[in-house]
Amino acid sequence: MRVKKHLEDAEDAFASSNFSVAIEQAAVGLYYTLECVQSAVSGRLPVFAEILTTDPFSEFGSGFASRDIRTTLERMQRTLTCVGLGLNYSDYVKFRQLSPVVHFGGGNPLIEWARAVTIDQPRAEFMVLTAVDAVLQIEERVGDIEKPFGAEGWF
């Protein structure tokens, strides 16, 4: 399972005081897990949401806040997913503030540190423990992370 490998890598990196790698791997593990189960827990954003939130005139100063609408819908979906899974939402918000942005595509995840974050032992420990606890809790609720509730094709 991919998730287990990322969390083991996070724990190993933490044990060897490589805190930035520990945080990155913890983020990949938790965000991949949430990506796998989100549709099963809180549904998908409808296709029309993409159309409604696309503003072809935004570069010309139309004032239409399409990106804000899309961001709000995504945040609501993430919040619903976390609450539906019984995760500690305060810890999740703190986790997001301390973690890099993780992009999933066809191959390996792309990790992007979009803002400066102090990387030290207490923060890395929080990140690794939070990711491991959250993934275990999610797995307990949905079963197989890649087939939540026994179904395939939620993506």
pLDDT at 120: 96
Decide if pLDDT at 45 tops 60.
yes
- Name 50's Cβ contacts closer than 8 Å, sequence gap at least 6: 70
Q: Please check whether residue 98 lies inside any domain of the structure.
A: yes
What average pLDDT does the chain have? 87
- d(Cα 24, Cα 127) in Å, to the nearest integer? 9
Q: How many domains are there within the chain?
A: 1
Q: Give the highest mean pLDDT range of 6-10, 44-48, 75-79, 108-112.
A: 6-10
Q: What is the mean pLDDT of residues 135-144?
A: 96
pLDDT at 62: 47
pTM: 0.84
Q: Please check whether residue 134 lies inside any domain of the structure.
A: yes
Q: Please check whether residue 52 lies inside any domain of the structure.
A: no
Domain that holds residue 93: 2-44+87-150
- d(Cα 80, Cα 152) in Å, to the nearest integer? 21
Q: Which residue has the tokens 């990196």?
A: 13
Decide if pLDDT at 55 tops 60.
no
Q: Please check whether residue 60 lies inside any domain of the structure.
A: no
Decide if pLDDT at 153 tops 70.
no
Half-sphere exposure of 55 (CA within 13 A, CB side): 15
Decide if pLDDT at 59 tops 60.
no
pLDDT at 68: 77
Q: Please check whether residue 115 lies inside any domain of the structure.
A: yes
DSSP per-residue string spanning the chain: -HHHHHHHHHHHHHHTT-HHHHHHHHHHHHHHHHHHHHHHHH-PPPHHHHHHT--TTGGGT----HHHHHHHHHHHHHHHHHHHTT--HHHHHHHHHHSPEEE--SSSPEEE--S-----HHHHHHHHHHHHHHHHHHHHHHSSTTSGGG-----
